[in-house]
Structure 1
Amino acid sequence: MKQPDSARTEAISVRNEFAPLREVVVGANDPDGLVMPLSYSAVKYIRLSPEEVEFLDRNAGRPVLDVYPPEEVHAVTRELDDLAALFEADGVRVHRPRPFTDAESRYVVPGGAPVFARDPIIVVGSAVIEASLMIPGRRKEAFAFRDALAARLAEDSEACWIAAPPPLPSEFDIERPDGPGPFLEGGDVFLLDDDILVGDSGLASNRAGVDWLRRHAGGRRVHQVQLADTWLHLDCVLAVVRPGLAIAHRPAFTGGLPDLIADWEVIDATEEEARAMGCNTLCLAPNRVIVPSEHTRLIGELRRRGVEVVDDISFAKVSQNGGGVRCATAPLVRG
């Protein structure tokens, strides 16, 4: 078993989804100071029952630990810690965020948590990008990662640190997704060397965000991928396992699979598997992928195709909160 070398410094660089993983940021959820979001009642992809909407609206703005049993909250934290430990055992250097300050936790509107590192942090080549998130309660999430990023960037004189323009103040309206933007979220962004796929369901990244990324992508071709508006991000319905092999929930792609991967072999995921974050996997290297143990059918399909599957962890508790292992991980170094 490899041991991480915390003194090792490599140039920040990510060019694709599958090159050997060297360094990551993994989300954390220290529940102290976290507060419930204002409302999810308008966010269609979450598919809440009327009872769940009423529960969230009734508890909006309250401390998380006053609403949920502490053991349930800490179960999420344990799964994130297990993921970080898996990376470290594989020789991957791991950074974690700090908790929100009180002021940060209530910035813009209550809500948000530094669990899903992928969304506020996007690395394209040697550029570290702070994204611009659509849901107001999530717009603060980059704050929790800034200390770790600043320390890491101090080690790398070649990397740059930029931010997408912050959204203009406005009333959040899920029915007007193009709003003031631009919106760009890491869960929508897939790097494939000289090409970048960016999902657009109208619930996260939008056309203005795609256009902004084109100007900062170092000459890479950026392709907008239309998704049904019941899916938040592209990585909810797509996984790149190795060049030529993917997992996808095809009905989510309103215009069909992107041309870039249309001739790849695709393992079809059911809607139930995609909702449970079965497509939300993460490559440790080409043809070597982390898939949580609960996704037994997809693991079997991958192994039948000669893929080395690392299924040493469960991520079911985190996934119940809307994200998987890719969501929780922002790569800083691959290659």
Structure 2
Amino acid sequence: MIYVENEYARLQKVVLAASEFGYPEKVRTDDLRFLAPEAVTDNENSKGKDFREVHPELQQRWEQERTALEQVLLKYGVEVLRPRMLTSAEKQAGGEDGYANFFVRDPFFTVGNCVIEGSMRFLHRRGEVLPVRDIMQAAVYPEDCYYVAIPRPEIAQPDDPSLGPGPFLEGGDVIVMGNTVLVGNSGLASNAMGVQWLKKFLGKQGYTVEMVRLHPNILHLDCALGLIRKGLMVVCPDAFPDGVPAVLHDWEKIPVTLEEASVLATNGLPVSSEVYITDPVFSGVGERIAAHGVQVEYIDFRISRSFGGSFRCSTQPLLRKDD
């Protein structure tokens, strides 16, 4: 079965990211404004190289982080699927733009019984869905569900800082709340054209799709809010120029600062309404969540977070449903 009911229903089947990154040869510094300064410097100093080559010890720790997350998920009975690694041909095809196979949340996403391949804005991530295609073949095609892809983005002029009109639509911006779907737009990832396409597709199936403006230094919507269970969320109010979306006004809020959000304080992962995974660096947030009767699991995810993503970014559910 393929179905995602919301962000906090019981996680039953999930794709867990690999750990591959090839630095672009041309660094667009403004597009890296969501990263810590040391990460921006690292990109500038490592142009055209593979992260494994530049930082072999960090590569090992990065892989261990994802293995630790897999072990916790297995402990709670979650079926975990892993993408294959990029082929040499796929890496070469990235050319000077580099390549990525590191945050499976973004290149595709699941809403209800719809599996949707997204459209990535950053050039080094344009082929990131390819290592997931084997999983689509084995786990999605046989099921009674939709499997579609947003149109390929237009090719921009080399000097166009916007990277073109898109459409861009990335899973980190997509928050599922039953028949309501929120889509973030900060200027770094998903854009209005991508949201228009999603409205066109999901609207006929009874979904309401709402675009949410984000602070320009926030990469995705899930870097600004995280739903813990029905009625409870962790959120960065300063990340929303127009205020927290109206559909969430009655929810109890565990607030974090913009500085905390920038290091992924909201990007934990509910295993269910009773269990939540986050990083021990956010123990203060974890304690506030635990005070609501939610069990909190802690995993050190500092290497993953240095790339601008954390637990939600590293996973993409195929089945999240309360029986």
Fold shared per TM-score above 0.5: yes
Contact 2:29 2:40 in 1 (8 A): yes
What amino acid sits opposite 2:178 in the alignment?
Answer: D
Q: Is it true that 1:23 corresponds to 2:13 in the alignment?
A: yes
Contact 1:44 1:229 in 2 (8 A): no
Work out which of the residue numbers 86, 108, 121 in structure 1 matches 2:72.
86
Contact 1:17 1:283 in 2 (8 A): yes
Q: CA RMSD in A?
A: 1.9
Which secondary structure state, in structure 2, belongs to the residue aligned with residue 56 of structure 1? helix
Contact 1:36 1:60 in 2 (8 A): yes
- Alpha-carbon spacing, 1:52–1:308, altered in 2? closer, same or farther (3 Å): closer
Q: Is it true that 1:146 corresponds to 2:133 in the alignment?
A: yes
Residue 34 of structure 2 is matched in structure 1 by 46
Residue 219 of structure 2 is matched in structure 1 by 232
Work out which of the residue numbers 271, 275, 291 in structure 2 matches 1:284.
271
Question: Which structure is higher in helix share?
Answer: 2
Residue 180 of structure 2 is matched in structure 1 by 195
Q: Is it true that 1:320 corresponds to 2:310 in the alignment?
A: no
Which secondary structure state, in structure 2, belongs to the residue aligned with residue 230 of structure 1? coil
Work out which of the residue numbers 71, 79, 91 in structure 2 matches 1:105.
91
**How far does the alpha carbon of each residue in 1:85-131 deviate from its partner, in whole angstroms, 9 at most, with x for none?**
21112111111011111221243543232221100121111111111
Equivalent residues in 2 for 1:287-302, closer than 5 Å:
287-302=274-289
Equivalent residues in 2 for 1:28-39, closer than 5 Å:
28-29=18-19, 31=20, 34-38=21-25, 39=27
Pairwise CA distance, 1:310: 2.1
Which secondary structure state, in structure 1, belongs to the residue aligned with residue 33 of structure 2? helix
Unaligned runs of 5+ residues in structure 2 are none
Which secondary structure state, in structure 2, belongs to the residue aligned with residue 107 of structure 1? helix
Q: Is it true that 1:273 corresponds to 2:260 in the alignment?
A: yes
Unaligned runs of 5+ residues in structure 1 are 1-10
- Identity, % of aligned pairs? 36
Contact 2:35 2:307 in 1 (8 A): no
**How far does the alpha carbon of each residue in 1:120-164 deviate from its partner, in whole angstroms, 9 at most, with x for none?**
1211111111110100111110001111121112431x1121111
- Alpha-carbon spacing, 1:173–1:43, altered in 2? closer, same or farther (3 Å): farther
**How far does the alpha carbon of each residue in 1:193-231 deviate from its partner, in whole angstroms, 9 at most, with x for none?**
010000000110000000111122222000110001111
CA distance in 1, matches of 2:296, 2:51: 34
Residue 112 of structure 2 is matched in structure 1 by 125
TM-score under structure 1 length normalisation: 0.89
Pairwise CA distance, 1:271: 2.5
What amino acid sits opposite 2:86 in the alignment?
Answer: F
Which secondary structure state, in structure 2, belongs to the residue aligned with residue 104 of structure 1? helix
